């Protein structure tokens, strides 16, 4: 299993450009999440999808949109990038409803985004 | 008050030392508990689950005290490779399947 994969690994955008970050998981997990992590800071939840067909806002959703394309894929779109969106973006997935001791989040390797 | 609080550190210890990380949580809907490890510029990775009875995995021991809403992680015989940030993580038993991540405690193990 590849686990959680993210593309691209690195991206540089100019202010105002748009882009979509891709995330896919092959663990048959129900829930998927997008976080951002700024230097020296903790994780902040942008959006999540508890199950296929549903999405909900996290604590920092402004400037982002998401699509749960199917059970495997959850994309994050920046419609008009701003320098404040320079960050590392992590996607995660979680089984949900499974055995409690393993029912937690598993992360992808991240996308490092710089907005000039 | 943050829902999950950790000592930010950093902790600087010599190889072979024993180091303990503490974490407190405030949400009564907290259901399950974990410690994650995050290396510099990498993704967080699950280190171990935390059980009420306490659990051990090699040099790592985790404890949970539900009455005090307190979680701990003990690392014995520290290795250079243990240098990382350790995140305390709590899953809530609420709609939306919320997970709260602590801000992390940075550990530096020196030769």
Cβ-defined contact of A101 to B51 (cutoff 8 Å): yes
- Interacting residues of A45 by C-beta distance below 8 A, sequence separation 6+: A33, A34, A35, A58, A59, A60
Q: Could you tell me the pLDDT band of residue A100, with boundaries at 50, 70 and 90?
A: low
CA distance to partner chain B, nearest, from residue A16 (Å): 26
Distances (CA, A) of B40 to A27, A80, A109, B3: 26, 29, 12, 24
List, in sequence order, every residue forming a beta bridge with A57; answer none if it has no partner. A47
pLDDT at B13: 97
Cβ-defined contact of B31 to A90 (cutoff 8 Å): no
Minimal Cβ distance to A110: which of B43, B46, B51: B43
Query: Backbone phi, then psi, for A85, in 5-degree steps?
Result: -90, 5
For residue B75, count CB atoms less than 10 angstroms from its CB and return exposed for 0-12, middle for 13-18, buried for 19 or more. Answer: buried
CA atoms of B83 and A92, how far apart (whole Å): 23
pLDDT at A40: 81
pLDDT reading at A101 higher than 70 = no
Longest dimension (CA), chain B: 47
Longest dimension (CA), chain A: 44
A105 touches A48 (CB < 8 A): no
**pLDDT, tens digit, 9 for 90 and up, residues A8-41:** 999 999 999 999 999 999 999 999 999 999 988 8
Cβ-defined contact of A104 to B31 (cutoff 8 Å): no
pLDDT at B96: 59
Please compute the mean of the pLDDT values over residues A74-83 and round it to a whole number.
Answer: 97
- Interacting residues of A82 by C-beta distance below 8 A, sequence separation 6+: A15, A63, A115
pLDDT reading at A99 higher than 60 = no
CA atoms of B103 and B84, how far apart (whole Å): 13
Residues of chain B neighbouring A106 (CB-CB closer than 8 A): 46
Cβ-defined contact of A107 to B51 (cutoff 8 Å): no
pLDDT reading at A96 higher than 90 = no
pLDDT at A98: 52
pLDDT at B73: 97
Q: Could you tell me the pLDDT band of residue A106, with boundaries at 50, 70 and 90?
A: very high
Residue B29 contacts A where some CB pair is shorter than 8 Å = no
Percentage helix, strand, coil, to 5, in chain A? 5, 50, 50
CA atoms of A18 and A20, how far apart (whole Å): 7
**pLDDT, tens digit, 9 for 90 and up, residues A55-68:** 999 999 999 999 99
Q: Output the average pLDDT for chain A.
A: 93
Residues of chain B with pLDDT under 50: none
């Amino acid at each position: 299993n590849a686990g959680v994969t993210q593309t691209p690994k690195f991206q540089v955008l100019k202010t105002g450009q748009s882009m979509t970050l891709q995330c896919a998981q092959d663990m048959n997990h129900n829930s998927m999440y997008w976080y951002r992590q700024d230097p020296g800071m903790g994780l902040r939840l942008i959006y999540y999808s508890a199950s296929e067909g549903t999405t909900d806002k996290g604590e920092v959703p402004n400037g982002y949109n998401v699509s749960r394309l199917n059970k495997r894929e959850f994309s994050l779109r920046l419609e008009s990038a701003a320098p404040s969106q320079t960050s590392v973006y992590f996607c995660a997935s979680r089984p949900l409803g499974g055995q409690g001791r393993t029912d937690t989040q598993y992360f992808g390797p991240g996308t490092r985004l710089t907005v000039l | 008050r943050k829902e999950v609080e950790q000592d930010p550190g950093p902790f600087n210890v010599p190889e072979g030392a024993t180091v303990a990380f503490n974490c407190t949580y405030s949400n009564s809907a907290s259901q399950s508990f974990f410690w994650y490890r995050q290396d510099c510029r990498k993704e967080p990775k699950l280190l171990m689950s935390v059980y009420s009875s306490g659990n051990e995995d090699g040099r790592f021991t985790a404890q949970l005290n539900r009455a005090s809403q307190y979680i701990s992680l003990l690392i014995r015989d520290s290795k250079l490779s243990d240098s990382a940030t350790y995140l305390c993580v709590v899953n809530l038993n609420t709609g939306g399947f919320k997970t709260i991540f602590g801000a992390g405690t940075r550990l530096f193990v020196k030769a």
